Amino acid sequence: MMVTNYIGCFVLIVLGLYCMVVKHNLIKIMMGMGLVDYGVNLLLVTVGFHYGGTAPIFNIAELTRASFFVDPIPQALTLTSVVIGACTTAMSLALGIKLKEQYGTLDTRKIRRLNG
Partner 1 sequence: MSAFINNFPVLAVMTLFVGGFLNSLVGRRHAVLQKIVVLVAVTGALAMMLALVKPVLVDGEIITYWLGNWEPVEGWAIGIALEVDALSLFFGLIVVVAVFVSGVYSFTYMSRDDSLVNYYTLFMMLGGSVLGLVLSGDLFNIFVMVEIMTFTAVALTAFRSHYEGALEGAMKYLVVGSLGSTFLLVGIAILYSQLHTLNLAQIAALLPEQSDNPLAGVAFAFLFIGFASKAFLFPFQPLAADAHAVAPASISLMISGVLTKCGVYGIIRLCYILYQNMDLAVVQYLVTGFGAVTMFICVTMAFQQHNFKRLLAFHSISQVGYVITAVGLGSALGVSAGLYHAMNHTIFKGLLFLTAGAVQHQTGSLDLDGLGGLSKKMPSTTALFLIGAASISGLPPFNGFASKWMIYQATFQKGVETNNFFFIIVCVLALLTSVLTLASFIKVTQSVFFGQLPEKYKDVKEVPLLMRVPMWILAVLCIVTGLFPTQVQNWLLLPATNAVFSAASYIDAAMGEGYAALHNIVSSGVTSLGVSTCWSPLSWLALLFCVTCAVTIVALLGGPDNKEDSHVSTADENAEELDPKYEPFFSGEESVYSQVGGSDLFWGFKHSWRKYFTFWTNWHSGVVNDYTLYGVVVTAFVLLACIIVL
Site membership for partner 1, residue 31 (CB under 8 A): no
Site membership for partner 1, residue 116 (CB under 8 A): yes
Site membership for partner 1, residue 95 (CB under 8 A): yes
Cα-Cα-Cα-Cα torsion 67, 68, 69, 70, nearest 10 degrees, comes to: 150
Q: Hey, is 54 helix, strand or coil?
A: strand
If we measure between CA atoms, which residue out of 71, 75, 68, 36 comes closest to residue 53?
68
Residues 6 or more apart from 104 whose CB is under 8 A from it?
none
Site membership for partner 1, residue 104 (CB under 8 A): no
Q: Which is nearer to partner 1, 55 or 109 (CB)?
A: 109
Site membership for partner 1, residue 36 (CB under 8 A): yes
Looking at the DSSP bridge assignments, the partners of residue 107 are 25
The site for partner 1 (CB under 8 A) is made up of 13, 17, 20-24, 26, 29, 33, 36-37, 40, 43-44, 47-48, 71, 73-74, 77, 80-81, 84, 87-88, 91-92, 95-96, 98-99, 102-103, 108-109, 111-116
